[in-house]
Chains A and B, each alone.
Chain A
Amino acid sequence: MLIKVQLLQESEVGSPSKIGGVAKLWHPRSGGNRRFPWHLAIFLAPAAVIYTAFMVYPLVDSLRLSLYNNSGSYIGLDNFRTLLGEPVFADRFWNALRNNFVFFAFHCLVQNPVGLALAALLTAKGIRGQHIYRTVIFLPTTLSVVIVGFIWRQILSPLWGINDSALLGESSTVLPTLSLISVWQFVGIPMIFFYAVLISIPDDLIEAARVDGANGWRIFWSITFPLLLPTLGIITVVTFIANFNAFDLIYTVKGALAGPEYSSDIMGTFFYRTFFGNQLALGDAAMGATVASAMFFVILIGVLAYMLLWQRRITTYQL
């Protein structure tokens, strides 16, 4: 996930100038004897080939599979009609989608403020051991989700855990609890990104504001926050993608049925049950691919909304 974040950020920061560079190097209608820039193609080839073979092709094939039935004949959008129309699937689908948005909302509303607060503490003057905290808080991100799920299940167990109530057993509390476990694990990522932004803000900006009579509150909203916004956007969209692909934590803690009564069911567990089957229910490859396609479209819409509505309007400041 961290790598994805970096790639996104690099491409965002770097792309305009690179595209400009390409245009200068090779433009068919301008200079007549300029050659096709083979070196660019060659340097792009390894990534493009591997990405196509292992990401693009399976993705396209999965989308194709959702237009076929299990005996292999083309049935158009019938699978999607089943998914959205038949109560057996539609109830589960809408429930999973709603739960997934709740899961995402918890991440947005808890992970970002807490990550920012931690980053602020890490950059605050006069707190000892900041390097240690930085490492320790980031550490859970590197743990296996299976381990995290197992440990938290023991911590929250009504038999041997810290509380007597069944936080992971009641339909009203299970999804918030799972969301917060996930936030606990991944809060290090926004923290590190906000931290990077905060330490890049020049001291003289802050000092100038202070000389002008601004208090800490005003400095945060007028200087720090605008500078954080691009990073906040990237973290949000990356969290969105990760949340709508999430599966492992729920599966580890609650199993594929995501109980009680599907109250912790998200798109990932719904997909798993549909595609691979569960206990006596046999897997259904075509409907599984249909659920996977639906997940893809949800994520696509989310990312497009980010790019069109947010990224284009946000002002990036060069410091």
Chain B
Amino acid sequence: MKKLLTRWIVVLLAFGLIAAACGNDDDDSGAAPEEPMATEEPMDDPEEPMDDPEEPMDDPMDDPQETATISIESWRSDDAAIWNDQIIPAFEAQFPHINVEFDPTVPTEYNAALDTRLAGGTAGDLITCRPFDASLALYNRGDLAPLNDLPGIENFSSVAKSAWITDDGSTPFCVPMAAVIHGFIYNRDAFNLLSLSEPETEEEFFELLEAIQEDGTYTPLSMGTNDQWEAATMGFQNVGPNYWKGEEGRLALLDGSGKLTDQAYVDTLASLKRWSEYLPDGASAVTYTDAQNLFTLGQAAIYPAGSWEITGFNANADFEMGAFYPPPPAGQSTCYISDHTDIGLGLNAASDEPEAARTFLTWVTTSEFAEIFANALPGFFSLQSEPVALDDPLAQEFASWRNECESTIRNSYQILSRGEPNLENELWAVSVDMLTGDGDPVAGAQRLQDGLDSWYTPGS
């Protein structure tokens, strides 16, 4: 009996030890407020095995003792094949002692998962940077290293760097990789069939939509509002710069000399409201992917687009496509396009291999990288001062607008979405209201400005 009791006590002690060990672990991480986010991470795992088969091929050449391995955090899981097959091999051919791994997370999980990994010290060496505040917050927290002295950072204009620089403009913390341009992609077959041509002015644009509507073969505009963001991103930010005169209007909002209740914004919303008649039936339940499919299946004539669609559309559509920029309102000779800084690459301040990571970053600033990247991912346009030769005709079309029109970036991205209610999300909601045809442009503009006024003091 005594023997039995001793055994039980041993078992109990073992449990006690395990409990104590668990307790210690918890204490360590308990200080970090992000701890509960750890539950997010398993979602990322299915992405990883896809990348692995690529890597052993690169390894045998290298001397294992000198090889540095760096990994790249990214939300562009769609591009994993391009990174693994084109970009990384090109780099490793030049720098055989550096082994690069591309480790993407799905876009909607990226910010949260990255935050968790940075807090827990498990993030990759290179961090793909969202533009503006999300990355600025990482820099201010010390997660991203300053890149003032990175060789090659001077290859970028100040506009290109504006998305990844401190508010005073002194310290860049990500290398600008690519911008996306807004416009409209159309089905050339549909235009030929109905003998239509690209519109030059906004009125022509609506006449064009009316003509397609009357014919009835095609849905005029392929867009839904189910996911909300596309209404603002491909609607409001697409046609809006023509009204608020690009950078001029955007900076006026920042310094307070412009208001969202100004005529320019009311007109933008009114123009969006006119779209509502030309959207597919039941547009309020049509998702982003539904709209993409509707267009690539040849059932819709025009797709309000971002240039990032080019790769997918080239792969899925079996008809010729063309593109036109948002046509300016009558009587306006200058056109404005949204040429939005979208992707940068930064250095994890806690990287174990900072030298290797900086070598990669410097390579990212070269025209060699820009050419591979821009051609592998047509629709993501290089931000370097020196122009890059593009092969894809649709991408060439988009890029050519940079010479014809004035570029700006999305007006809600810099500073104006720092508070609650968040301007970006408000824009989603108000733009959806317009596209469903229910909203009133004046009231919508007022709602946007009221939301901004509740927390933003211009110039502060």
Contact = CB atoms under 8 A, between A and B. Distances in A.
A31 interface: no
B205 interface: no
A285 B423 CA distance: 21
A278 B226 CA distance: 16
A164 B282 contact: yes
A143 to B, nearest CB: 18
Interface string A206-240: 00000000000000000000000000000000000
Interface of A: 38-39, 41-42, 45-46, 49, 52-53, 57-58, 61-62, 65, 68, 70, 72, 88-89, 153, 156-160, 164-170, 254-257, 259-261, 275-283, 285-286, 289
Contacts of A159: 280-282, 286, 290, 293-294
A276 B111 contact: yes
Given A49-B22, A260-B284, A280 B33 contact: no
B11 interface: yes
Given A88-B421, A159-B282, A280 B134 contact: yes
Contact of A158 (B22, B37, B285): B285
Contacts of A65: 33
B15 interface: yes
Interface in B271-285: 280-285
Given A42-B11, A168-B226, A255-B227, A278 B425 contact: yes
B8 A281 contact: no
Contact of A49 (B11, B15, B280): B15
B183 to A, nearest CB: 22
A277 B281 contact: no
A39 B12 CA distance: 10
Nearest to A86: B420
A161 to B, nearest CB: 9
Contacts of A89: 420
The secondary structure that dominates the B interface is helix
A159 B287 CA distance: 10
A153 B287 contact: yes
15 contacts: A38-B5, A52-B19, A53-B22, A53-B23, A159-B290, A169-B285, A254-B226, A257-B425, A277-B112, A278-B425, A279-B425, A280-B132, A280-B133, A280-B424, A283-B112
B214 to A, nearest CB: 21
A279 B123 CA distance: 20
A140 to B, nearest CB: 22
A35 B18 CA distance: 26
B281 A158 contact: yes
A280 B227 contact: no
* Chain A CB within 10 A, most for which of B34, B108, B115, B282: B282
Contacts of B228: 255, 257, 259-260
A281 B422 contact: yes
Contacts, number: 141
A49 B8 contact: no
Contact of B420 (A53, A58, A281): A281
The 4 closest A-B pairs by CB, nearest first: A158-B282, A169-B284, A169-B285, A166-B285
A128 B228 CA distance: 48
B285 A257 contact: no
Nearest to A91: B421
Give the one of B133, B290, B294 with max A CB within 10 A. Answer: B290
B413 to A, nearest CB: 7
Given A88-B421, A257-B228, A278-B425, A285 B33 contact: yes
Contact of A39 (B8, B290, B425, B432): B8
Given A164-B281, A169-B226, A281-B424, A260 B33 contact: no
B26 interface: yes
Interface string B114-158: 010000000000000000111001000000000000000000000
Interface string B6-25: 00110110010011001100
B248 to A, nearest CB: 22
B67 to A, nearest CB: 36
B307 interface: no
B286 A157 contact: yes
A158 B290 CA distance: 10
Contacts of B18: 49
Interface in B392-423: 412-413, 417, 420-423
B54 to A, nearest CB: 27
Contact of A41 (B5, B12, B137, B436): B12
B33 to A, nearest CB: 4
Contact of B226 (A38, A70, A259): A259
Interface in B1-60: 5, 8-9, 11-12, 15, 18-19, 22-23, 26, 30, 33-37, 40
Contacts of A275: 36-37
A164 B227 CA distance: 18
B229 interface: yes
B429 interface: yes
Contacts of A70: 33
Contacts of A282: 111, 133-134, 137
* Most chain A CB atoms below 10 A, which of B19, B281, B286, B420: B420
A70 B119 CA distance: 14
Given A257-B228, A277-B112, 14 more contacts: A38-B5, A39-B8, A53-B19, A53-B23, A153-B287, A158-B281, A158-B282, A160-B290, A169-B226, A259-B226, A280-B422, A280-B423, A281-B422, A289-B33
B74 interface: no
B34 A285 contact: yes
B428 interface: yes
B365 interface: no
Contacts of B137: 282
Contacts of A57: 26
A168 B422 contact: no
A90 to B, nearest CB: 12
A279 B15 CA distance: 44
B112 A281 contact: no
Contacts of A156: 285
Nearest to A171: B284
Interface-centre pick from B18, B33, B36 (highest chain A CB count, 10 A)? B33
Interface string B425-442: 100110011001000000
B36 A62 contact: yes
